[in-house]
Amino acid sequence: MTDSAHILVTGGAGFIGSHLVERLLADGNAVVVIDDFSTGSGENLRPLAGNARLRVIESKISTCADLPDLAGQAKAIYHLAAAVGVELVVRSPIHVLETNLHETEVLLKAAALRRVPVLLASTSEVYGKSEKPVFIEEDDLLIGPPRHTRWGYACSKLMDEFLALAYARERSLPVVIARLFNTVGPRQTGRYGMVLPRFIAAAKRGEPLEVYGDGLQTRCFGYVTDTVEALVRLQRAEAARGEVFNIGGTEEVTILDLARRVIEVLDSKSSTRLVPYAEAYAPGFDDMRRRKPGVEKLAAVTGFRPGTTLRESSGGRRKRSRSRFVICRRQRKRTASTPFKSCFQTKKAPFSGRS
């Protein structure tokens, strides 16, 4: 391994992956992306096209002939390639399970030959139906029964975690596991179920925002650049090796309130419409009532705590930030990413930045 070695990002054409690639290039790294463009898209990397330090390989990990070299010669690997999104999970469970189990197995095996550090992106879904007010990395996990495909997704990512930690123990592979909570930002698509891009698209079309269940379930939405910052710091931190970390925003919001905020921020004429889960997904669908990450461990090890929050609703927000709101609306004409940005505000993180 040399200093000029590349960083390998699997799933680098996805929503979070493309932001990570952008960041790694901006830091001066050479980056190789392996992505099969299934849920990701070449479009996500278009702003980086022509960058001589970026190489993009359209392939599954398991069918990439160069994988042994690309993994073995890398100075670090971010493994983000996975089949994600609640709707995809409900619609195509075989694809989801096979992808998440098999591709990770192949990647870890390749990385282990030369002990190249791997950051594995996992998910808050592994906490399952736990009703704890805040999820901590050491918590017991409460997965539902196998007849609900959603829990199969959770288990597939949990098996990825077990496998990565097994490689850490048995083969001394440096691994760190990042459990990503709901993450939002530019380039996220609503095609596989994610709520905020769906709400934004409906609000822009003036159509009803479809809120599933009673809308009183809560989530914490983290902004993608915060997620990327946390990922980069975790990969660099020696103390993170062999450990699991939550990454996510900590501001809780009901989905109904989220819908109202989107309508307000985008000045939309849309209304909200409650849709039963059985109609939205499948009969007997299990949703979590709340899901909030504890980020103390992340903060302790990296010195970073996600600090971007949703804009407050109500007239107070408008009075305070009318000018910024107007700026956001003007920019919206030029870039599709702006509706996401206009739903967020950046607070200075309470931690200074150690990396």
Closest separation between CB of residue 10 and ligand UDP, Å?
21
The H or E element that residue 175 is part of is strand 175-180
Closest separation between CB of residue 85 and ligand UDP, Å?
7
Between CA 19 and CA 55 the distance in angstroms is: 15
Tell me whether residue 72 or residue 208 sits nearer to ligand UDP (CB atom).
Answer: 208
**Helix extents (H) in the chain:** 15-26, 67-72, 86-91, 93-98, 104-113, 149-171, 195-205, 224-236, 255-265, 277-280, 296-302, 315-332, 338-342
Tell me if 148 contacts ligand UDP by CB under 6 A.
Answer: no
- The answer to whether 116 touches 1, Cβ cutoff 8 Å, is yes
Tell me if 163 contacts ligand UDP by CB under 6 A.
Answer: no
Tell me if 220 contacts ligand UDP by CB under 6 A.
Answer: no
Tell me if 182 contacts ligand UDP by CB under 6 A.
Answer: yes
Instruction: Say whether 153 is catalytic.
Output: yes
In the set 194, 230, 232, 266, which binds ligand UDP (CB under 6 A)? 194
How far, in whole angstroms, is CA 173 from its chain's centroid? 24
Between CA 145 and CA 4 the distance in angstroms is: 48
Query: Closest Cα partner for 56 from 92, 93, 30?
Result: 30
Tell me if 224 contacts ligand UDP by CB under 6 A.
Answer: no
Among the listed ranges 7-15, 187-195, 242-250, 333-341, the one in contact with ligand UDP (CB under 6 A) is: 187-195
Which parts of 256-295 interact with ligand UDP (CB under 6 A)? 287
The H or E element that residue 139 is part of is none
Among the listed ranges 21-29, 139-147, 168-176, 206-214, the one in contact with ligand UDP (CB under 6 A) is: 206-214
Which sequence positions are flagged as catalytic?
Answer: 153
Which parts of this chain interact with ligand UDP (CB under 6 A)? 86, 182, 193-195, 198, 210-212, 217, 219, 255, 287
